[in-house]
Amino acid sequence: MKVSYLLWAVLVLPAAAGGACLLLRSVRAALLWVVVAVGAASAVAAAAAWSVFTGGPIEAGAGWLYLDALSAYHLLLLHAVFLLSSIYAYSYFRREASFGAAQARRFGALWMGSLAAMALVLVSNNLGIVWVGVEATTLLTAFLICTHVSPSSLEATWKYLIMCSVGVAFAFIGTLLVAASAGSSHLATGDALLWTHLRAVAANLDPATLKMGFIFLLVGYGTKTGLVPMHNWLPDAHSQAPAPVSAVFSGFLLNTALYCILRYVPLVEIATKNSHWALDLLVGFGVLSILIAGAFIVFQHDAKRLLAYHSVEHMGIIALGVGLGGLGTFAAMFHVLNHSLCKSLGFCSAGRLGQMYGTHDIAQMAGSAHDAPVWGRGFLLSLLALIGLAPFAIFMSEFQILKAAADRSAFGIMTLFLAGTGVVFVGALRHAIGAAWDPPVRHPTPEHAGVVDRALVLVPLAILLVLGLWMPESLRLALNQAADVIRGLPQKGGF
């Protein structure tokens, strides 16, 4: 079979499965169908990514679809997060009496549609289609936030829709400007939006136009990434959405938008002769996000909003890592993996605790490590891993980012980074300990955690633990290949 078919399958499979979901009759069937379909899509994505990591980039559809190490790596993560969250969604929604068959059908269709839209962003070579994909994810996921229609979920949905649509519209202006910057490079007109073509002639792009475009892109896609000061929608949407949806939002929707920004970094850097202009902008937004999020984390009392502000912080850390360059780019790619895994676990745990306690207030969940041994401890450990406790993998990636800052002798940035993560560490540790071991305030409904629930907690934690202690050689190579795309280096290919 030709590998280029895999790229089509990555798009068509989830879209078709989402359509088929509308025909199912029961809640159980719809939710199971989602798990099976996401599983099948994951297998296809894994095959495509494997082929990229061993044999170099794949093209399909006359150059409109393209998968290189950066997108293959993100594609793998996308499917990992969706697989985890789909399995979790099955056990989560089955416990909600108000979740009817019609809702389940709609949820399944939108869920698979979102997967298809995010995959479209990752496998498109045409930057215009990338934009179309990002906007499509906004529209498809909007109804997922208000799966349960209530005043506050509608408020969150509206804020999300307007802020992200307007923000992403800015990104389209940026895309147009980037295409216009190729005007002097004698591209065949139809190719002016293809990333591979722009990358090939990057040295001849008009720097002034390109820089202007990059600012629009950073603000536009940055809104959806949740970078401060464009992050206002994020805590509302994350806290109001049902937990499986929050897990996908935080675990990968933000990364999808960040990925779009990363695509443009090598173009700008090459066109401006490695002036670090784009990278410095990323450092600025990154540090700002870490500091502001830190301040909000300390005073947070809602478990899901707490996790949402952690997302802002971690998107900032990833942006900072990429901005530092060198080892930092590698560490940022590693951090993407760690954060997505850890955050999916965090939202899954917080969601189930919320169902058991009937509230997301952290103070009300006191004593959860004892009363809810699986999800309570899952929440505790995910928070500990998130704030960078050794030996979990997030500690390693943050340490590497620190080292990258030291390599560049950027001691001011280092200090700010340490201050921000320090505040987060202390603030979140207090919340985590309180939720786990304080004397109970409420009596939750009993937990009834099955084998699958336990696996959902243990598998991400085990991966985070192992990666914190030892990194497999193949993962190191894959991360380096992905980082090389951002650094603007040629693809070496092959494990």
Partner 1 sequence: MNELIDALMVLLVLMNLRLLGSSRLAACIRIVATEGIALGLLPLLLVWSQTSASSVEPGLSGRMIFLSVASVLTRGVLFPWLLLKAQRDAKVRREAEPFLSYPLSIIAGVLTLVLSFWLRSRLPPSFASGPPLLVPVALSTILVGLLVVVSRRLAISQVLGYIVMENGIYVLGLALVREIPALVEMGVLLDAFVAVFVMSIVTHHISRQFDHIDVDQMDSLKG
The least CB distance from residue 378 to partner 1, in Å, is: 25
User: What kind and span of H or E run contains 58?
Assistant: strand 58-60
> For partner 1, which is the closer residue by CB, 91 or 157?
157
> For partner 1, which is the closer residue by CB, 213 or 266?
213
The least CB distance from residue 129 to partner 1, in Å, is: 6
- On whether the CB atoms of residues 104 and 266 are closer than 8 A, the answer is no
473: alpha, beta or left, given left = phi > 0 and alpha = psi -120 to 50? alpha
CA dihedral for 22, 25, 27, 30, sign (positive or negative):
negative
- On whether the CB atoms of residues 167 and 126 are closer than 8 A, the answer is no
* Three-class secondary structure of residue 422 per DSSP: helix
CA 2 vs CA 54, 55, 59, 69, 147: distances in Å: 15, 13, 11, 18, 39
> For partner 1, which is the closer residue by CB, 307 or 457?
307
* Three-class secondary structure of residue 66 per DSSP: strand
> For partner 1, which is the closer residue by CB, 114 or 157?
157
The least CB distance from residue 463 to partner 1, in Å, is: 33
> For partner 1, which is the closer residue by CB, 128 or 284?
128
> For partner 1, which is the closer residue by CB, 206 or 484?
206
DSSP label of 390: T
Buried-state track 172-188, b at ≥16 Cβ within 10 A, e below 16:
bbbbbbbbbbbeebebe
d(CA 356, CA 360): 10
The least CB distance from residue 302 to partner 1, in Å, is: 8
The least CB distance from residue 166 to partner 1, in Å, is: 6
The least CB distance from residue 240 to partner 1, in Å, is: 7
d(CA 313, CA 301): 17
> For partner 1, which is the closer residue by CB, 184 or 474?
184
> For partner 1, which is the closer residue by CB, 277 or 399?
277
> For partner 1, which is the closer residue by CB, 8 or 437?
8
The least CB distance from residue 220 to partner 1, in Å, is: 11
Buried-state track 66-97, b at ≥16 Cβ within 10 A, e below 16:
bbbbbbbbbbbbbbbbbbbbbbbbbbbbeeee
> For partner 1, which is the closer residue by CB, 305 or 487?
305
> For partner 1, which is the closer residue by CB, 300 or 421?
300
Beta bridge partners of 59: 66
> For partner 1, which is the closer residue by CB, 85 or 300?
300
User: Is the preceding omega at residue 440 within 30 degrees of 0, hence cis?
Assistant: no
The least CB distance from residue 300 to partner 1, in Å, is: 7
Q: Which residues contact 303 (CB under 8 A, 6 or more apart)?
A: 350, 353, 354, 360, 361, 362, 365, 379, 435
The least CB distance from residue 480 to partner 1, in Å, is: 33
The least CB distance from residue 236 to partner 1, in Å, is: 4
The least CB distance from residue 212 to partner 1, in Å, is: 8
- End-to-end, the C-alpha distance of the chain in Å comes to 22
* Three-class secondary structure of residue 272 per DSSP: coil
The least CB distance from residue 186 to partner 1, in Å, is: 13
Q: What is the DSSP string of 316-375?
A: HHHHHHHHH-THHHHHHHHHHHHHHHHHHHHHHHHHHHHHHHS--BGGGGTTHHHHSHHH
Tokens of 422: 């320090």
Residues in contact with partner 1 by CB under 8 A are 64, 126, 128-129, 131-132, 135-136, 138-139, 142-143, 146, 149-152, 154-159, 161-162, 165-166, 169, 172-173, 176-177, 179-181, 183-184, 189-190, 192-193, 206, 208-209, 235-236, 239-240, 296, 299-300, 305
Instruction: Residue 34: count other Cβ atoms within 10 Å of its Cβ.
Output: 29
